């Protein structure tokens, strides 16, 4: 039995310790935001935060998350939409939408670490793949959140 803290709530799951965190989140906890894309940590569709660090949950064993704080897209905002989700909508980032939760989770981790990232820092941190190619809009949305004084992401660092 593994004890996990996911989105601020304690959970006990009866899974093999080596089961990827992604499958625990989706199949055992019903949190469907993180997506399966490649299974080898390349695409980023499965990105979640573990103790504030963006990780590819398809290759993280569930046991590695025990005793740590896991945050999924479902827990990113306390209520309503997170400022990044609002910026994604405002800048019309999503097209097919499959990669977007992973992109937002990567962007949130970036803004927590670097509240005012440069284009180069955004490009380096946003290694998620997007079949639709909305990378320019992703960068614009991240800059918009970084410039916003009302940003909950920017407020954490201030």
- Give 23-80 pLDDT, tens digit per residue: 999 999 999 999 999 999 999 999 999 999 999 999 999 999 999 999 999 999 988 9
Looking at every residue in the chain, the average pLDDT score rounds to: 93
Domain end call among 45, 75, 105: 75
Q: Does 111 reside within a domain?
A: yes
What's the pTM value of the predicted model, to 2 decimals?
Answer: 0.90
Boundary-marking domain end, from 75, 104, 136 = 75
The answer as to whether 158 is a domain residue is no
Instruction: Please report where in the chains the tokens 């899974």 appear, as a residue.
Output: 15
Same domain, 99 and 51: no
Share of the chain above pLDDT 70, in %: 94
What's the number of CA atoms in the CB half-sphere (13 Å) around residue 37?
24
What pLDDT score does 151 carry?
A: 52
Q: How far apart are CA 68 and CA 110, in angstroms?
A: 19
Domain boundary among 75, 104, 135: 75
Cβ-proximal residues to 143 (8 Å cutoff; 6+ apart), any chain: 122
Taken as a whole, the chain contains a residue count of 158
Domain of residue 13, residue span: 2-75
The domain tally of the chain equals 2
17 Cβ neighbours under 8 A, 6+ residues apart? 2, 61, 62, 63
């Amino acid at each position: 039995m593994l004890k996990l803290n996911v989105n601020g709530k304690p959970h006990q799951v009866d899974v093999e310790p080596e089961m990827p965190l992604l499958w625990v989140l989706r199949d055992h906890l019903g949190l469907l935001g993180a997506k399966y894309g490649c299974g080898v940590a390349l695409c980023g569709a499965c990105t979640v935060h573990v103790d504030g660090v963006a990780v590819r949950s398809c290759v993280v064993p569930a046991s590695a998350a025990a005793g740590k704080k896991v945050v999924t897209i479902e827990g990113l905002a306390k209520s309503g939409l997170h400022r990044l989700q609002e910026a994604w909508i405002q800048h019309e980032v999503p097209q097919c939408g499959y990669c977007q939760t992973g992109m937002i989770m990567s962007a949130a981790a970036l803004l927590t670490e670097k509240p005012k990232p440069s284009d180069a820092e955004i490009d380096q941190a946003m290694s998620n793949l997007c079949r639709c190619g909305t990378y320019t809009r992703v960068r614009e949305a991240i800059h918009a959140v970084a410039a916003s004084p009302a940003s909950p992401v920017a407020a954490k660092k201030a």
